[in-house]
Amino acid sequence: MQEQLKIALIQSDLVWENPKENRKIFKEKIENLPENINLIILPEMFSTGFTMNAKDVAEPMDGKTVEWMKKRAAKTNAAIVGSLIISENEKFYNRLLFVEPSGDIKYYDKRHTFTLAGEDKVFSAGTKKVIIDYKGWKICPLICYDLRFPVWARNSENYDVLIYVANWPKPRILAWDTLLEARAIENMCYCVGVNRVGIDEAQNEYSGNSAVYDVLGNAISSIKPNKEHVEVVTLERNHIAFYRNKLKFLEDKDAFILL
C-alpha cells in the first residue's frame, strides 16, 4: 500500500481525427514529466478529439494507440489513463483505458453518452461501473457527461479517487467546476478532472479548467484555464483517512442499488 499517489494532469489541445499526431504530442509532454510519477491522466478521446466519425478513426484493443499507451506506461513506470474510440464486436465505445506499467489494462466504457451531440446514436453505452486497485488506492474512472449523474458516481465501494476525463465545452464550464467540487465533497474522496483546451472542427471551444479537489472540496491544483498546462499533484492517503474518521458522512448514506 502506497501512502502517496503522485499524479500528472495533462491539459492539452487535440488535433482533429489525427491519432498519429496526437500520440506524438502527448509523447513529448510525457517525456518532459518529472520522475517518480505514479499516474498520468490524458483527456477524453485524446487521440482524435470528440468526433462522432467513429467508423473512420476507431481502433481495436490491439491497435496503435493502445500499444502506444502500453509502451509509454512501461517507459515511465507510471499508469496512463485516457479515453479513445474503440471498435469491438461491430460496436463503437468511448472507452477509458487504465494502462499499468506491467502492460495490464483495465477499462471503463462511458455510461452516459452525450445525446446533445448525438453520441448515443454512434456509441454503445457502458453498463458497468469499474473500481481499479492501483498501488493500494481504489480509483473510480468516469468520462465527461457522467459528471452530471451523481448516482452513478456514488461512493458505495469506499473508493479513494474519482477521475473524470473530458471534452467539456467552455460555455458550460461553470457546471464542470461546480460538479467536480460537489463530487469530491459528497463522496469524501479526491476528485480529479482533466479537460482539453482549444477549438475543435465543429467550432466548439474548450477552456480546460482541469483540477484536483480534496475530500473537503478544496482545490489543490493551480492549472491555468485556456492554455495547455501540465501539473503534478500529490494525493495523501492520510488526508482521506483523517476526515472520513472524523466526519463519518459516508456512513450515513442511503442504501439502494442501481438496476
Catalytic sites, residue numbers: 44, 110, 144
- CA 99, CA 105: separation in Å to the nearest integer? 5
- CA 49, CA 190: separation in Å to the nearest integer? 26
**Strand, helix or coil for residue 100:** coil
For residues 135 and 171, the answer to whether their CB atoms sit within 8 Å is no
Which pairs from 150-158 meet CB under 8 Å and 24+ separation? 150/182, 150/183, 150/186, 151/258, 152/111, 152/112, 152/258, 153/183, 153/187, 154/187, 154/253, 155/186, 155/187, 155/188, 155/189, 155/250, 155/253, 156/253, 157/131, 158/250
257, amino acid identity: I
Strand partners for 140: 162
- CA 104, CA 135: separation in Å to the nearest integer? 13
- CA 108, CA 82: separation in Å to the nearest integer? 10
What secondary structure letter does DSSP report for 233? E
For residues 86 and 58, the answer to whether their CB atoms sit within 8 Å is yes
For residues 177 and 199, the answer to whether their CB atoms sit within 8 Å is no
